[in-house]
Amino acid sequence: MIERSRELLDSAILCVQDAARLLFNYLRLSSNYWLVCTSPVSPRLHKHMPDDQRAAVECFRRYGSVFDADFDQWERRTRRLFANDLKASVGLYLGTESAQIAPADHFVHIPQDSALPTTSQWMAILSDLRQSRQARVEAGRARVRTKSLWKILHLIYTRAQHPDLDQWRVGAMVNLVKADRVGQQVDPWAARSKRGVEHIRRTLNIMVRRLLDRGAVIAENASRNLFPSDEGRISEQMRFNFDDGDFRARLLSPGREEADFVKGRVLVV
């Protein structure tokens, strides 16, 4: 019984650590987050700021920079954010106590000289609130499995280390297509002229492109504090530019610690 409890505790700790490390890595991939973190002046919100930029600034204020420290240092700074916070209780506030109402809270305004809502009116308000909350839960529900998040990261880091290789070779290196599914092992270093593998190579090219695009969408959603989510369409501006040496340098710095960790994690999950 004690051994089982320890296993459950270790599993829970690993889930929390996974969430933190995955977020750390995907924030590092976001070009929006990079611009906010490297801004020469402290990021500020203003009235006519684009929604994506506003969300990135708010995310930065919560998690800070992911480019000025390694994961262990960043995790020590943000550890409390991944703890299970106690839910705020429902309260009755006066107008003078409005500072206690958070932007995402629901607020029922009852003017001083108005009649109190009837029971049926309260029930209608609560019904609307429940539907609204359920819609938000469904919209924000994680649609990306942890295993897929690690797999996509592994592909991105491998691509960054080998920007000049054909995409199908990179796909073969990370074993996107299992040998037991196609009847043969795909050799990433085989000659282009090798016959009999044309279909597999085309499939790998498509898979690599789609997963890289999916990773770009997840990264930009992370900078909006929507993680993990792959909702949204890819744009040319969002796509990773592996020909950009600066992008590869910041992705693989310091050293290749994160790339090595992700590779090891993929072998476990």
Cβ contact 152:174 at 8 Å:
no
Element (H, E) at 222: helix 198-223
- Reading the block at residue 71, the tokens are 């994961």
Radius of gyration of the chain (CA): 23
CA 109 – CA 223 distance, rounded (Å): 33
pLDDT band of residue 120 (cuts 50, 70, 90) is confident
Q: Looking at the predicted structure, is the pLDDT value of residue 54 above 60?
A: yes
**Cβ neighbourhood burial of 87 (10 Å; 0-12, 13-18, 19+):** exposed
| Helices (H), ranges, 65-197 | 71-78, 119-140, 146-161, 167-173, 179-182
Instruction: Tell me what percent of the residues of the chain surpass a pLDDT of 70.
Output: 73
pLDDT value at residue 213: 96
Phi, psi of 3 (to 5 degrees): -65, -40
Q: What angle do CA 214, 216, 220 make, to 5 degrees?
A: 120
**Average pLDDT, whole number, for the chain?**
80
pLDDT band of residue 117 (cuts 50, 70, 90) is confident
pTM: 0.72
User: Helices 198-223 and 2-29 meet at what angle, rounded to 10?
Assistant: 90
Please enumerate in sequence order all residues whose Cβ is within 8 A of that of 229, keeping only pairs 6 or more positions apart, or say none.
140, 142, 143, 144, 218, 221
CA 34 – CA 31 distance, rounded (Å): 5
pLDDT digits (tens, 9 = 90+) for 76-115: 888 877 765 444 555 555 666 566 666 666 667 777 777 7
